[in-house]
Amino acid sequence: MTAIWAVAVGALLGVVFEVIRMATKNRFPLSAVGMGLAFVLPFYSSLSMFIGALIFWIIGKAAKDEAGWWRKIVLGNQETICAGVIAGGAIMGIIAILVELGA
C-alpha cells in the first residue's frame, strides 16, 4: 500500500513541478525529471550529474562572448561531451572488472 502512495505522491509532485515551471517560464530552479532521478539513482550518480551541470554552468558564466570559440565548442556540444564521459566511465568500469578478475 505504501508503494501506491509513493507513486501517487511522486506523480502529483511531478505534475506540480511542471506546472510551476511552465508558469514561471523555465525560471523554477527544480526539475521534475531531476528530482525523480535523484530518488531512484544512487547518490554518486546524482552527485556526478550535479557536478557536471555545475561545471557547464560555470563555463557559461565565464564565457561572456556569445560568438567565442570556447562557448561554441564546449557549451554547444555539452550533450556529446557528457555522453562521452559516461561511455568512457562505463568502459573503464568494465576494464577494472576484467583486471580484478585477472583476465
**DSSP sequence for the chain:** -HHHHHHHHHHHHHHHHHHHHHHTTS--S--HHHHHHHHHS-HHHHHHHHHHHHHHHHHHHH---TT-HHHHHHGGGHHHHHHHHHHHHHHHHHHHHHHHHT-
Residue 36: its pLDDT value, please? 82
Residue 103: its pLDDT value, please? 61
Q: How far apart are CA 84 and CA 75, in angstroms?
A: 14
What are the grid coordinates assigned to 72, written together? 561554441
Residue 44: its pLDDT value, please? 84
Mean pLDDT, consecutive 10-residue stretches, the chain (103 aa), reads 90 90 87 82 85 88 77 84 89 93 79
What are the grid coordinates assigned to 16, written together? 506540480
pTM given for the model: 0.59
Q: How far apart are CA 18 and CA 26, in angstroms?
A: 9
As a whole number of Å, the end-to-end CA separation of the chain is: 47
